[in-house]
Amino acid sequence: MMNARQPLQTLTRRATAAQCQQLQYKPRTWQTSDRGMASVVPPVTQNSVSKKGPTAMVFMNMGGPQTTDEVGGFLSRLFADADLIPLGPLQNYLGPLISRRRTPKIQKQYAGIGGGSPIRKWSEYQAAEMCKILDKTNPESAPHKPYVAFRYANPLTEEMYTKLLEDGFGNGKGGRAVAFTQYPQYSCSTTGSSLNELWKWRQRLESPTRNAEAPKEGSIQWSVIDRWPTHPGLVKSFAENITKVLETYPEDVRDSVVILYSAHSLPMSVVNRGDPYPAEVAATVAAVQQELGHRNPYRLVWQSQVGPSAWLGMQTAEAVPSLIKRGQKDIVLVPIAFTSDHIETLFEIDQEVIHEANEMGADGRVRRAESLNGSPTFINALADLAKSHLQSGIVCSRQMGLRCPGCKSERCLESKKFFMGDGVQGNNAVTL
């Protein structure tokens, strides 16, 4: 008698054609509106394809509103996040107040770039293309299923986690999932915040009761790609895009073009408690400069400051006019901490910084390197990162367990303990 638990490739060597047809998988059809997810991901059976698959590959990022009507909710969640914008004891009062006041202005900005952010489109495309490559290069953990979890916009982490459960992960069936941050450089306010949120929804959705721990047996088994600031594929992707824009300048001035690497700024209150983000961004910049052969002068600048408190500087919007006033008009702006286009590139750099530069007489000589978006080099880099992680057996980097020296967040501690495997992981890193 035929054993239905045998792998299909074994069955096909001695089963009839009719039996094979009977065993053939017929995927359920999902509507694109299901749970606010744009990508169609068929349900999976935990031991249907390979001994280690299927594997959920979850891209984490901040997200962005797809329409101007979503701007208010996006800002409300953003200013409520004390990991990103710490407002002290008045966070619950000041956060909603600031978001309401800023909503009309930010709605106009999104209207100016087409009515919404393209970050979801690019994230879903990058995740899907990466999974196609992984299915070929790492078949032992196949099939790889792409998911996106945004911190402040749809699909939110809760929606993603619910979708994972609906697709056959967890709920006593176990299954492996990789939380893959799309912030190459780690910060407690970005990747850390996303992981805290993921841990929160695991507790809520996989625990038998609100106050109980989620059971280890049968729950989704998580690992984390928590930082990758100097991965060779990432560095090469940036270098390729910089080279392309440098080639648009006359050859006699090309090597004197100033490269301004622009990263999202952070409040100094976050930096001063020991956040690793500035150092990791600088590491990316140094690696890209090395890849380019150090041909051009450069600086690292910071953008997107919010509010009157002290943030990392100098600000991109101040650096460009300052250089132009000194006679340096040939400038390339590189969004070094972003993996796709969104409001910070399409509006803040393209329509504010570059527009002001042209009004000061730059005459089109201040330009921006293309974002990584659909770069084949970048997508292959993502696949290489994921493959190495899946084959390593390591749940996260050694750095993951080390909290900022000035961290006082118990939620951060508990989240790190979980993702580190209750304090100890395969590479002997511990949670401190």
Q: How many helices (H) and strands (E) does the chain have?
A: 15, 8
The angle that helices 191-206 and 157-166 make with each other, rounded to 10 degrees, is 50
Closest CA to 371 of 173, 187, 122, 3: 122
Q: Which helix (H) or strand (E) holds 357?
A: helix 354-359
Enumerate long-range contacts of 269-273, CB under 8 Å, 24 or more apart: 269/86, 269/309, 269/310, 270/86, 270/187, 270/188, 270/189, 271/312, 272/406, 273/404, 273/405, 273/406, 273/407
Q: What tokens were used for 284?
A: 């990316």
| Strand bridging mode 176-181 / 55-61 | parallel
Q: If you write DSSP's letter for every residue of 184-253 in order, what string do you get? A: SS--TTTHHHHHHHHHHHHHHHHSSSTTSPPPSTTS-EEEEE---TT-HHHHHHHHHHHHHHHTTS-TTT
What residues are labeled active site? 231, 384
Q: How far apart are CA 98 and CA 1, in angstroms?
A: 68
Determine the 3-state secondary structure of 367 from DSSP. strand
Dist. CA 122–CA 370, nearest whole Å: 13
